[in-house]
Structure 1
Amino acid sequence: MIIMKKADPKSTTQQLTYLFVKLFVAILILVNVAFLIISSAYIYYQAERQSEQVVRAVKDNLDSQYDWSAMLDAYLAKQDSDAITLTTPHGKTYYSEDAHETFKYINEQRHYQNLVYSNKHIYFLKDEQKHNFKINVALNIDRLFHLIIWLFCTMLIINLAAILISIPLIRRLSHKWSRPIQTMNSEIQDIQKDGATTKITVPNQPLEIKQLAKSFNNLLTFQNKALQREQQFVSDASHELKTPIAAIRGHVNLIRRHGKDKPEIIPKSLDYIDVESKKMEGLINDLLALGRIERNTNLTQTNLVKIINEITAEIQAVYPHKIHTDMPQELFFLINPTDFRNIVHNLVENAAKYSPEHSDINISLTQKENQILFQVADHGIGIAAKNREKIFQRFYREDTSHSSKIKGSGLGLAIVKAEVDKYNGKIKVTDNAPQGTVFTVSLPLEK
């Protein structure tokens, strides 16, 4: 069994340094390869050009020259290692100085097109014919080749020096570029360690890190607000539950102390305990409903009209209000039926609680363009404009003293808001002329 060693994690600076050094080396390799290709092509071009000049000079003097060996040596006076042979129409071959040994040596080597390579020399070969004269030229290109090799070795040394010098410079630049990430990471660790709620620093550059920092700050703000809401919720829930529990325990103690001596207090205390326990039951049910909202994902095509009719019948059985509806015979929408029941029940019951007895409550349901509009209008006390956003907070009531005259847990509108948000809908609160409030719920239809 082969155990693979897990690679050690690397910092952004290390990764950037490694990446840019590799990129720099790759560029140098490409430059060197290009230099070799261009240099080789240049050597070949120069050798071919020089050989053509020699051949042309020999061809131009074929008719006027008879001392062939001297003529051939004249053309190669500057290059002792070059060689020329001239074969006449009669089959006689003339050689420049040392040409016989040179061509013998060349014929024993391996040829690559016009080039001959050996351990000692490199030759460029050229042959042509004119008037049955055959001309063979062998040019020694060792000097050009050695010059290119020398230049290439010099470039390698320069490249190596450039790489060694560039590494600390690249590391420094990489550290500068990764500094915003390091700063962000350090600040996030401080937030995790100390539980701080301050925002992290937003750098100006690079753009991606700037956007990431802004997104993190937005997320942090959202989480802080959510945490504050949860803390407030726990505090309010504890307060709301503490009151009925204290009342129940008070009446239990009252029965224990005086129940035998004054049995007439027992029925009253039991009635009070029953009322308070029902309040607790309603509060707990609403808390459970809030917790189940996100988990209710069983969506079906639901007849909204049927649900509204059922809820209005239930409300009218308890409250003496006149409920008027303006709806089509049926209207279907993809929703969890329980979710829509919660929306309708809480809005209609809320209208009944906060409006005078025997007053009108108007309900309408329509489909307009790409959305469903559900509206509940009452003639109650109304809601101040400054408080219209607050009424959807948990346990919030328009009356800051949390008056107990109106029954309820204070969670109804919070449930409605959560249900509407679940379906990407909106809820709007407006005045109902001449008096009252209008709640309008808009649910977008799926495209």
Structure 2
Amino acid sequence: MIRVRLKKNRTTAEAIRHNFIIVFTFFALLTGAAVVTVVGVNLVHQRQTESAELLKSLNRSFIDDKPDWTQWRKNSSINTQNTYVKVTDEAGSASQKQTFYSRGAKQFLALQQTKIFKKLALPFFPALVYTKHYGLFYYRSGERRGQHKNIRSEIWLSLNPVVDTLISVVLVVLLTLLVSLLIGWFVISLVAKRLTRSLEVLETTARKHSQSVVNIESLLPVPDSPSEVRELSISFNELLSAIIENNKKEKAFISNASHELRTPIAAIRGHISLVKRRGKTHPEIVDRSLHFIDDESAKMQSLVNSLLALSRADKGIVEKSPFDLAGIVNETVEEQRVVLSQTIQVLGAKSATVFANQTSISQILSILLDNAGKYSPPDSIITVRIRQTASDTVLSIEDQGAGISAAEKRHIFDRFYRGDHAHNSEIVGNGLGLAIALQLANLNGLQLTVTDVTPHGASFNLIFDPSKFH
């Protein structure tokens, strides 16, 4: 459990150092093993060549079929120390065999010898033998045949110098590994610290932001390198920009909602206070105040319903299905004809299959028709048009009002936004209808745009994309 916890809490710099140690140690050991193996093989092959040369020099030292050990050692160019030789003259019968031993050979051969190649399965060195107290030897034999003679020579060449050399090589490799590891640890720590400095700055800044989520205003610093941290910083800043913008909108939304609710509440409480003070002495003001309270409470109810609808649209997930758009349009238009004083006409395709949520489309159409009724003359015509093309299906609601300026079009779908014309005239509304319509359109994967109508007026266009038909 401790090991897992440490791995989870390991910093980037620690992870870099940890992985460096693993990789460096692996390759260093692999390189060291390769060096030791190559050196060992070469040294053994060298001793193998030396044993062949010793045999040749031994054959040249024979006098009267007897080896001259003094002459052999004197004329040999190879160090014969710790080299043991056994020469057997096998000519004639067993009783006539003669055996000659170099100095110390009898004591050497008296001890048990173990063939290393059989124990370790070394096919390249079948002549390796080990003798207790003497060490590792290379064995080679040879024969001299001639008339009335058959001389067999056997040489055991000590490999202890080779073993000592290999031990020295191993120690040097291990020492080099240790020194390189210490130097590498120091260097990689500096590099890791330099590489993670940008991440530490990001982490510190992000922690400061997290301590005051409501008041996030500044962005994270963007380092020049490394490129991954730079891209990460840019991505975080894009996310923070969206959060900051959304935070500003939420603050404005809360402020506007409070303002819209405060006005009717203040008016209602004022009339209630008026009735309490003067209702008994002036009964005529009671009916007037009750009528005003009823109107203001209706406005408050409409605003609360709009806020609830907007909240559901923000968080909701709709179920979409294919349906006939013309049928929903005709039903909604019939309902709005009872409410609106303008004439509503439906033009275009008599049937158009789209993929969306029917209730959402009906709500959007009701909002757009209500908006057109507010900003159009009572005797004008509102046109609901269904257009089908090869690329899309468009539902348009066109009015004959004063139109919308380019500046207002940029804010027309903002929450609580009402144009100058709406403020100057006594048009009932809270500025949430078009915001709800846009949110419902986004929830269904649709586009909602506004364009001008010639000679005057505005057209709100709900665009269905056939490619999203599932």
TM-score (normalizing by structure 1): 0.87
Change (3 A) 1:281 1:122: same
Instruction: Find the aligned partners of 2:372 and 2:152 in 1 and give their Cα distance.
Output: 117
Residue 139 to residue 397, structure 1, CA distance change in 2 (3 Å): same
| Residues 96-105 or 314-323, more deviating | 96-105
Task: Find the counterpart in structure 2 of residue 374 from structure 1.
Answer: 395
Alignment of 1:104 with 2:109, yes or no, is: yes
1:207 aligns with 2:227: yes
Alpha-carbon distance, 1:106 to partner: 6.6
Deviations 1:273-316 (A, max 9, x none): 22221111111111001111144324141523332222211221
Hey, what's the Cα distance between the residues in 2 that align with 1:261 and 1:217? 66
CA distance in structure 1 between the partners assigned to 2:21 and 2:371 by the alignment: 69
Aligned to 1:433: 454
Equivalent residue, structure 2, for 1:186: 204
Q: Is the 8 A contact 1:126 1:137 kept in 2?
A: yes
Q: Is 1:198 aligned to 2:218, yes or no?
A: yes
User: How big is the shift at 1:257?
Assistant: 3.0
* Aligned Cα root-mean-square deviation (Å): 3.1
Offset from partner CA, 1:180-221 (integer Å, 9 cap, x none):
111111111222335452111111222221111111111111
Q: Which amino acid aligns with 1:16?
A: I
Structure 1 residue 225 displacement after superposition? 0.9
Of residues 67, 85, 91 in structure 2, which corresponds to 1:69? Answer: 67
CA distance in 2, matches of 1:65, 1:354: 134
Change (3 A) 1:415 1:129: farther
Determine if contact 1:346/1:412 at 8 Å carries over to the other structure.
Answer: yes
- Per-residue deviation at 1:368? 4.6
1:398 matched to 2:419? The reply is: yes
1:87-128 CA-partner distances (Å, limit 9, x unpaired)? 555274654623742761575334323212345321112345
In the aligned structure 2, how far is the partner of 1:106 from the partner of 1:114? 17
Alpha-carbon displacement from aligned partner over 1:343-380 (angstroms, at most 9, x marks no partner): 22212221222222232333234555565433222222
Tell me the distance in 2 between the aligned counterparts of 1:147 and 1:88.
37
Correspondence 1:24 to 2:24 = yes
- Is contact 1:69–1:94 with CA below 8 Å preserved after alignment? no
Partner SS for 2:423:
coil
SS in 1 for 2:429: coil
Q: Identify the residue that residue 330 of structure 2 maps to in structure 1.
A: 309
- State the secondary structure of the residue aligned to 2:307: helix
Match of 1:81 in 2: 82
Following superposition, the deviation at residue 411 of structure 1 comes to 0.4
The Cα of 1:386 is off from its aligned counterpart by 2.1
Contact 1:324–1:360 (Cα < 8 Å) also in 2: no
Q: Please point out which of 423, 437, 454 is paired with 1:416.
A: 437
Identity %: 28
Paired letter, 2:106: E
* Unaligned runs of at least 5 residues, structure 1: none
Aligned equivalents of 1:424 and 1:338: distance in 2? 14
* Aligned match of 2:123: none
Q: Is the Cα contact below 8 Å between 2:54 and 2:78 reproduced in 1? A: no
1:166 aligns with 2:199: no
Q: Kindly indicate whether residue 44 of structure 2 is the aligned counterpart of residue 44 of structure 1.
A: yes
Q: Note if contact 2:333-2:344 (Cα within 8 Å) is conserved in structure 1.
A: no
Task: Tell me the SS of whatever aligns to 1:42.
Answer: helix
Rounded to whole Å, the distance in 2 between the matches of 1:47 and 1:370 is 87
CA distance in 1, matches of 2:152, 2:334: 120
Q: C-alpha displacement at 1:247, in angstroms?
A: 2.1
Distance 1:127 1:305, change over 3 A: farther
* CA separation of 1:119 and 1:85: change in aligned 2, threshold 3 A: closer
Q: Is the 8 A contact 1:85 1:96 kept in 2?
A: yes
Deviation string 1:35-59 (CA, Å, 9 cap, x unpaired) is 2222222223223333344456778
Give the alignment's TM-score, normalised by structure 2. 0.83
Q: Which runs of 5+ in 2 are unaligned?
A: 118-125
3-state DSSP class of the match of 2:277? helix
2:303 alignment counterpart: 283
